[in-house]
Structure 1
Amino acid sequence: MSLKYYKELDGLRGVAALMVMFFHFMPDRDITVSPIVHYLHKVGVFGQTGVTLFFVLSGFLITRILLNQKANRHYFRNFYIKRALRIFPLYYLGLVIFYLIIPLIINYAPSPYSSAPYWLYIQNITDTFMIPSNGPQHYWSLAVEEHFYLFWPLLIYYIAIKNTPRLIAGIVVAALVCRCLLIYFGYGTFYFTFSIMDGLAIGALLAWYEINQSRFRLKFNTIIFICHGSHVNRPEIYRWQRI
């Protein structure tokens, strides 16, 4: 089955990227100099939710591919090879530049022990539990994505499609419990894979619904419309689909 291409998601991805950029580019010092700068700094904090939006998009796009290819005999090989070719070259090139080339320019030698988490995609874990590490700080979200790519295909393959919503519900509950435990023990909740996997799970649920929308009355496009919170005077959007 061919998958429908939603060009609107490209625009949504761009919005998420702008939100993250706005958050990172806002000044974090001398914000009281100007009321406008102070206000923009306060508003800019919400820009970090663009990362969560990225996770929802990733959960949707990856899960629909996995569900569509579940019956393929090369299910695992095709997925992992494509992900590796798309991610590893640029990711490790960035690390080579950061750890090997930049130190030659600024005369700085990072510790191999502090860089190890970044080579192994566990930097978000060290950040959460305050284990010393040194690397590109924004790479933490790539570690979360890589954990998702590693384990989610296994779960999708071995769980019956009809049971996928139950799996997703369990993941959402587990993420909430994990956040509560991290807060209780005094750790942050924003970087750890298990505390933020509910965003990926919600995206996966949308993908499951798209694949199985013939079992429901409400059209998938209407669900996307409602999630976006838009309001238009187009009654045809609310038509019901016959079973």
Structure 2
Amino acid sequence: MSSKPQHNYLPQLDGIRTIAIGLVLIFHWLPTTHWINTLPNGTIGVTLFFVLSGFLITDILIKNKTESLGGAVQVYKNFMIRRALRIFPIYYLTLAVGFALPKLHIPFTTDLYQHPWYYILYTYNHLLEKTGFWADAFSPYWSLAVEEQFYLVWAFVVLLIPKKHTITLLWTTVILGIIFRFYFIYIQQGQGLITVTCIDCFAWGGLLSWYRINHVQDQLHRLLRYTVLPSLAILLYVSFVKDNTATLVKILFLRTAISCISAYILSLICSPKPHWLNTVLSSAPMVFVGKISYGVYVYHMTVPLLFWFVWQKFHLPAIGNHFTSLIVLLVASYLSWIIFEKPINNLKKYFPYQEKK
């Protein structure tokens, strides 16, 4: 969810969140051998989330940037508090439930019990990078760890770097992401779960923010328009061709391709010019799911599992699995937002980026 003031709220961004979480659900709930997962839906969804986060977070930081060191410290402190209010509550609530399940004799597969501090300290991506244990019910949390690590460092750097060097920082980060993937994934045979292998995804969103704030969005839009077809070609190539060359292209440029497409779509829907996509993305169902998308992401591997365990425990009749799971997940996420998340989120008003004059 965005931390931006309500008057800057763009409902179409909730629609983007709905698309991203939908792709993640498809990837995690359907077999990887299913035809619909021929495309790397999980990677597309997560990368789209990263680009959107880079856009929103960089936008907040640039707009609240101050030349005063004390002012920068204050902005950084309030930024992190606001992020914590939005992200921590249901994350730690879910971990607490995970800890309780063995005592309730509910089977639950996770490395949480053997390595709890990786989860608690938002460094789970490093554990999963080492173990490759994707059967962990909390395995999607690797991306939450990446986002939190990104917030910690990116906010510090953007607030302290001179304004004139921000654009250089962003383009350099785009290049560094590819270099880091070459080293940590191709050379070191890693899985690409550590934050430095994802940083260019955030930077593409940050670039859109910088160009918009400086009223030269059309320059980036034209550049992105020329990258769409090559990016789509890369996406299709790595999805349908299985050889060593395709593997190298996938390692180096798949996230780049998805980031370019994502940034292009964001540039379309955030443009002052009306676009038909805005009508679709701003529709009530898209906005509704987008608003609760964080809860959907946090709960999507645990709530359905617990629901079906209870359902079968009471020997209730079998019903449509995926459809029922989706309804249960949406209801749980909506109740979580109304009862738990929104009241905590409202505490952000006590931590404004700039003091009222």
The answer to whether TM tops 0.5 is: yes
Q: Give 1:219 shift.
A: 7.9
Residue 46 of structure 2, aligned match among 33, 40, 51: 51
- The residue that corresponds to 1:128 in the other structure is 129
Q: Write the letter of the residue equivalent to 2:41.
A: F
Identity fraction in percent? 35
For structure 2, the 5+ residue unaligned runs are 226-263, 275-357
Length-normalised TM-score, structure 1:
0.78
Unaligned ranges ≥5, structure 1 = 32-37, 238-243
* Aligned counterparts of 1:149 and 1:217: Cα–Cα separation in 2: 24
Kept after mapping to 2: 8 A contact 1:118/1:135:
no
* Per-residue Cα deviation, 1:107-142 (whole angstroms, up to 9, x for no partner): 669675422211111110122233889661111111
- Give, in whole Å, the separation in 2 of the partners of 1:171 and 1:195: 10
Where do 1:6-25 residues align within 5 Å?
6-25=10-29
- Secondary structure in 1 aligned to 2:164? helix
Choose between structure 1 and 2 for higher RCO, CA contacts under 8 A separated by at least 6 residues.
Answer: 2
Correspondence for 1:212 among 211, 214, 217 = 214
Q: Which residue of 2 aligns with 1:67?
A: 62
Contact 2:54 2:201 in 1 (8 A): yes
Q: Which is worse superposed, 2-11 or 56-65?
A: 2-11
Give the Å deviation of 1:40.
2.5
TM-score relative to the length of structure 2: 0.55
**1:19–1:157 Cα change, 3 Å:** same
The superposition leaves residues 26-55 of structure 1 with CA deviations (integer Å, 9 ceiling, x where unpaired) of: 124xx5xxxxxx423424x33431100000
Task: Give the whole-Å Cα distance in 2 for the aligned partners of 1:219 and 1:180.
Answer: 29
CA offset digits 1:171-211 (Å, max 9, x no partner)? 1222111111121121112x111001111111111111111
- 2:35 aligned with 1:39: yes
- For the residue of structure 1 that corresponds to 2:190, the secondary structure is coil
Q: Letter of the aligned partner of 2:104 in structure 1?
A: I
Q: Is the 8 A contact 2:208 2:267 kept in 1?
A: no
**In structure 2, distance between residues paired with 1:63 and 1:42:** 33
Residue 94 of structure 1 is matched in structure 2 by 94
In structure 1, distance between residues paired with 2:112 and 2:169: 41
Aligned equivalents of 2:177, 2:219: Cα separation in 1:
29
Give the total of aligned pairs: 219
Q: Which amino acid aligns with 1:68?
A: K
Distance 1:4 1:107 in 2: 44
**1:20 touches 1:47 (CA, 8 Å); kept in 2?**
yes
Q: 1:8 to 1:102 in 2, by over 3 A?
A: same
Deviates more, 1:140-149 or 1:178-187: 178-187
Q: CA deviation at 1:57?
A: 0.3
For 2:24 and 2:217, the matched residues in 1 are separated by 36
